[in-house]
Structure 1
Amino acid sequence: MQPYALRIQVLEADRIGNPLGKMDTATIAGGVRLDAAGAPVSYFIYDQHPGSAQAVGARAFRGEWVDRIGNRSGRRRVLHHFRKQRPGAVRGVPYLAPVIDCIKQISRYTEAEIMAAVVTSYMTVFIETPEGTPSGVFQGETKQEEESGEIGLGMASVVGLAPGEKANMVNPGRPNPNFEPFILAVIKQIGMGLGLPYELLLKQFNASYSSSKAALLDAWAYFRGVRNWLALSFCQPIYETWMTEAVATGRIEAPGYFSDPLMRWAYTRAAWPGDSMGSIDPKDEVAAYVAAIDARLMTRERAMWELFSDSFDDKYSQMKSEHDRLQADGILPVPKAGAPAPPQNKPPEEPQT
Structure 2
Amino acid sequence: MVRFWPLAKKTAAAAAPSRAPATAYFRNNASPFFRSWMPALRETAQDVRAAWQQSAARTIDAYQNSGFIAGIVDQSSSAVVGTGLTLSCQPDVDALGWTEDAGANWARMVERRFYAWANTPRECDAGGRMSFGQQQDAAYKGWFWYGEILALLPIFQRRRGGSFSKVSLLPASRLTRKSDGVRQFDGVTVDALGCPQSYNIQIADRWGIRVDRDYAAYDRDGRQRVIHVFEPGLQTYRGISPLAPVLKVVRQIDQFSDATLTKALIQTIFAATIKSDLSGIRAYEGLMTGDEGLELNLAQYADARSNWYESEKIDLNKNGRIGHLFPNEELQFHESTSASAAYDEFMGWLLRELCLVAGVTYTAGTLDSRKATYSSVRMDTAVNWNVVLRRRAFIVKPFCQAVYEAWLEDEIGSGRLTFPGGYEAFLANKSEACSAQWNGPAQPQADELKSARAYETYKNMGVMSLSRISEALGIDPDDELRQRKREKDAALKLGLPDPHAPQDPGAEFNRDEQGDDEDKSDNPSFVPED
TM-score by length of 2: 0.50
- Equivalent residue, structure 1, for 2:518: none
Deviations 1:188-218 (A, max 9, x none): 2223434544333323444332221111111
* Greater CA drift, 4-13 or 34-43: 34-43
Amino acid at match of 2:350: V
Partner residue, 1:92: 239
Aligned-partner Cα distance in 1 for 2:416–2:236: 40
Structure 1 letter corresponding to 2:218: I
Q: Secondary structure at the match of 1:65?
A: strand
Which sections of structure 2, spanning at least 5 residues, go unmatched? 1-158, 277-284, 298-315, 318-324, 509-530
What is the CA-CA distance between 1:126 and the residue it aligns to?
5.8
Aligned mate of 1:202, from 366, 376, 380: 366
1:83 aligned partner? 231
Q: CA deviation at 1:325?
A: 4.8
Counterpart selection for 2:176 from 11, 14, 17 = 17
Shift of 1:36: 4.2
The answer to whether 1:139 aligns with 2:286 is: no
How far off is 1:8 after superposition?
Answer: 0.9
Q: Using a 3 Å threshold, how does the CA distance of structure 1 residues 67 and 165 change in structure 2: closer, same or farther?
A: farther
Q: Which residue of 1 aligns with 2:167?
A: 8
Q: Number of matched residues?
A: 308
Indicate conservation of the 8 Å contact 1:18/1:24, yes or no: no
Q: Report 1:113-192 matches (<5 A).
A: 113-123=260-270, 138-140=291-293, 142=294, 174-192=338-356
Kindly provide the CA deviation profile for residues 268-293 of structure 1, in whole angstroms up to 9, marking residues without a partner as x: 12110111112211111111112222
Change (3 A) 1:248 1:215: same
Offset, 1:164: 9.2
Q: Sort the Cα spacing of 1:296 and 1:231 in 2 relative to 1 into closer, same or farther, 3 A.
A: farther
8 Å CA contact 1:33, 1:41 repeated in 2: yes
Counterpart in 1 of 2:197? Answer: 41
Q: How far, CA to CA, are the matches of 2:328 and 2:166 in structure 1?
A: 80
Structure 2 counterpart of 1:348: none
Q: 1:69 to 1:165 in 2, by over 3 A?
A: farther
Does the CA-based 8 Å contact 1:191-1:197 persist in structure 2? yes
Q: How far apart in 2 are the matches of 1:82 and 1:17?
A: 16
Stretch of structure 1 that moved more, 266-275 or 309-318: 309-318
- Give yes or no for contact 2:198–2:216 (8 Å, CA) kept in 1: yes
**In the aligned structure 2, how far is the partner of 1:290 from the partner of 1:337?**
9
Query: How does 1:100-115 map onto structure 2 within 5 Å?
Result: 100-115=247-262
Instruction: Single out whichever of 110-119 and 262-271 deviates more from structure 2.
Output: 262-271
**Equivalent residue for 1:66, pick from 204, 211, 215:** 215
SS of equivalent to 1:211: helix
SS in 2 for 1:92: coil
CA distance in 1, matches of 2:476, 2:227: 28
Secondary structure of 2:230's partner? coil
**CA deviation vs aligned residue, 1:120-172 (integer Å, no higher than 9, x gap):** 110465679xx97979x8533x47x99xxxxxxxxx89xxx999999998889
Letter of the 1:95 counterpart: P
Structure 2 residue identity aligned to 1:139: E
What CA distance in whole angstroms lies between the structure 2 residues aligned with 1:133 and 1:195? 54
The runs of 5 or more residues in structure 1 that have no matched partner are 49-54, 147-155, 341-353
When structure 1 is superposed on structure 2, of 183-192 and 196-205 the one drifting more is: 196-205
SS in structure 2 of the partner of residue 115 of structure 1: helix
Q: Cα 1:237–1:164, aligned 2, differ >3 Å: closer, same or farther?
A: same
* Secondary structure of residue in 2 paired with 1:187: helix
Give SS of 1:90's match: coil
Distance change in 2, residues 1:304/1:36 (3 Å): closer
| Whole-angstrom CA distance in 2 between matches of 1:184 and 1:209 | 20
Change in Cα spacing, 1:133 to 1:82, as seen in structure 2 (3 Å) is closer
* Range with bigger deviation, 317-326 or 7-16: 317-326
C-alpha root-mean-square deviation of aligned residues, in Å? 3.9
1:169/1:273 CA distance change after superposition, 3 Å: same
Name 2:484's counterpart in structure 1. Answer: 319
Residues 317, 104 of structure 1: alpha-carbon distance in 2 compared, 3 angstrom cutoff = same
Residue type at the aligned position of 1:279 = Q
Structure that is richer in helix per residue: 2
Q: Identity over the aligned pairs, expressed in percent?
A: 24
8 Å contact from structure 2 (residues 267, 334) kept in 1: no
| Residue 469 (structure 2) aligns with | 303
Instruction: Give the structure, 1 or 2, with the largest relative contact order (CA under 8 Å, sep 6 or more).
Output: 2
CA distance in 1, matches of 2:420, 2:288: 98
Contact 2:470 2:476 in 1 (8 A): yes
Residue 132 of structure 1 contacts residue 163 of structure 1 at CA under 8 Å; is this kept in 2? no
> 1:332 Cα shift?
5.1
